Amino acid sequence: MILPIVTYGDPILRKKCNNVKEITENIIILINDMFDTLKNTGGVGLSANQVNIPLNIFIVNYEYNDDFISKVFINPNIIEYSDDKQISKEGCLSFPSLYDDVSRSSSIKIEYQDIDFNNKVDHYSGDIARIIQHEYDHLKGVLFIDKINPLKRKIISSKLKSILKKKIHTNYLIK
């Protein structure tokens, strides 16, 4: 089922999410619905709080050249960030039509539970590391606009006000 995506201004996007205690049928349904929603949007990552569920879950579905990942991260914790950074344009499904440059570590090490609730530790670099950091931030109540240069944030403030004014709840049912 395709779920509505909350947009900037919704308080759930600023809340820290709760850990998942066990994998239940409802968690499996949520994850499947998140993948359906992400596929429908054409996005590359989605966190549970973006679909109004304050749980420490995000998904990634990314394919570009030789990079491919389609994975669930439950109760994630980034335990290592590389010192080298990369600046690249980012957007977010909760910020329709807004993109800007964000600096992120070029590689990370993350521990998490998979869909079977097994503990995992993986290393990622490049675009996939960027996507994971973006989604991980969502679970902590941090938004990509928080990482934008303050001067640029001032420049995009009219776009942010427009999103707030519309209070759009995007459902992406129409393509």
Predicted pLDDT of residue 167: 61
Predicted pLDDT of residue 15: 96
Q: Taking the domains of the chain in order of start, what are their residue ranges?
A: 11-166
Give me the CATH topology for the region 11-166: Peptide Deformylase (3.90.45)
Q: What span, in angstroms and rounded, lies between the C-alpha atoms of 57 and 136? A: 9
CB-based contact 74:110 (threshold 8 Å): no
Annotated active-site residue 111? The verdict is: no
Predicted pLDDT of residue 170: 46
Of the candidates 9, 54, 48, 47, the one whose C-alpha atom is nearest the C-alpha of residue 167 is 9
CB-based contact 125:113 (threshold 8 Å): no
Q: What is the pLDDT along the chain (175 residues), one digit of tens a residue?
A: 999 999 999 999 999 999 999 999 999 999 999 999 999 999 999 999 999 999 999 999 998 777 789 999 999 999 999 999 999 999 999 998 899 999 999 999 999 999 999 999 999 999 999 999 999 999 999 999 999 988 888 888 888 888 887 764 444 432 3
Q: Which whole-number Å values give the CA distances from 63 to 10, 70, 88, 131, in the listed order?
A: 30, 8, 17, 12
Q: Write the Ramachandran bin of 128: left for phi over 0, alpha for psi from -120 to 50, otherwise beta.
A: alpha
Q: Could you tell me the two tokens for 46?
A: 């989605």
